[in-house]
């Protein structure tokens, strides 16, 4: 009998979320500690945005400009390739939808990959989304792509979607519920304006490629541990992303 993928596994209580002993137990048992940490960071930053929006709107604009990804200024603000993954629109829908999505896919992928390998998958997928935006800026006629500012975890989340498709299909798990959730996410750019669909595509491709490499029996890594395979494939993949990204940025360097 095949297993069924469950959306939204049992959520921790607030007490468990910040209790050191509970976190240690979660870590040792393969619980979603990294997933929870990412959610807490994103929600905390969003809360700061909301407060600043009402009290110091000029400061909010300055902070967002330092954290959002704008292709034209990436050579001067390279940290935005990472910080943009943890920023969200100072409204409820963007953060709510992304964090629900992360909680739907993150825990089981973290359990399968391990904590640090899951974080590597998440960040690589996010960088894949960034790369897609840089490629769009480089090739889009008129150059308007250079000055579009984006933020959000969507690139990383779509990488996790791809990883779920690869790993759970190979395990024979019923992922019907995940396919429905994924379809909703893919449809969002057609329903709501202003969504960076390029990041969705880039994250999905990078996450899918990385998951395929980790799960495919390639002779060079046959018999190697998952940690070794994640390094053997993850580091070159990161180098490729950085190299292509640097090439994209030549016109604005």
Two structure tokens written together for 65: 């400009």
pLDDT digits (tens, 9 = 90+) for 122-134: 999 999 999 999 9
Supply the DSSP symbol for 5: -
Cβ(139)–Cβ(72) under 8 Å?
no
User: In this predicted model, which residue has the larger pLDDT, 196 or 217?
Assistant: 196
136: left (phi over 0), alpha (psi -120 to 50) or beta: alpha
Average pLDDT, the chain: 88
Cβ(137)–Cβ(110) under 8 Å?
no
Q: Quick check: helix, strand or coil at residue 191?
A: helix
Residue 63 burial (10 A CB sphere; 0-12, 13-18, 19+)? middle
Identify the CATH class of 14-252.
mainly alpha
**Is residue 217's pLDDT more than 90?**
no
Ramachandran angles phi, psi of 47, nearest 5° = -60, -40
Check: pTM over 0.75? Answer yes or no. Answer: yes
Domain map of the chain by residue range? 14-252
pLDDT digits (tens, 9 = 90+) for 87-96: 998 889 889 9
């Amino acid at each position: 009998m095949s297993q069924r993928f469950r959306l939204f596994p049992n959520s921790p209580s607030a007490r468990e979320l910040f209790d050191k002993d509970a976190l240690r137990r979660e870590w040792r048992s393969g619980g979603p500690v990294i997933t929870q940490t990412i959610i807490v960071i994103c929600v905390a930053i969003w809360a700061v945005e909301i407060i600043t929006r009402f009290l110091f709107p000029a400061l909010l604009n300055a902070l967002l400009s330092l954290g959002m990804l704008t292709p034209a200024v990436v050579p001067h603000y390279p940290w935005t390739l990472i910080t943009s993954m943890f920023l969200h629109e100072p409204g409820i829908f963007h953060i709510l939808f992304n964090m629900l999505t992360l909680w739907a896919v993150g825990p089981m992928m973290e359990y399968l990959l391990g904590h640090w390998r899951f974080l590597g998958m998440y960040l690589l997928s996010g960088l894949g989304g960034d790369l897609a935006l840089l490629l769009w800026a480089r090739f889009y006629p008129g150059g308007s792509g250079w000055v579009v500012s984006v933020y959000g975890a969507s690139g990383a989340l779509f990488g996790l979607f791809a990883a779920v498709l690869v790993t759970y299909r190979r395990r024979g798990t019923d992922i019907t519920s995940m396919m429905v959730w994924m379809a909703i996410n893919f449809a969002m750019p057609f329903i709501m304006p202003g969504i960076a669909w390029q990041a969705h595509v880039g994250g999905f491709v990078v996450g899918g490629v990385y998951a395929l490499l980790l799960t495919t029996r390639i002779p060079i890594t046959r018999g190697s541990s998952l940690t070794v395979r994640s390094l053997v494939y993850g580091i070159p993949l990161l180098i490729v992303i950085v190299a292509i990204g640097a090439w994209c940025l030549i016109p604005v360097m």
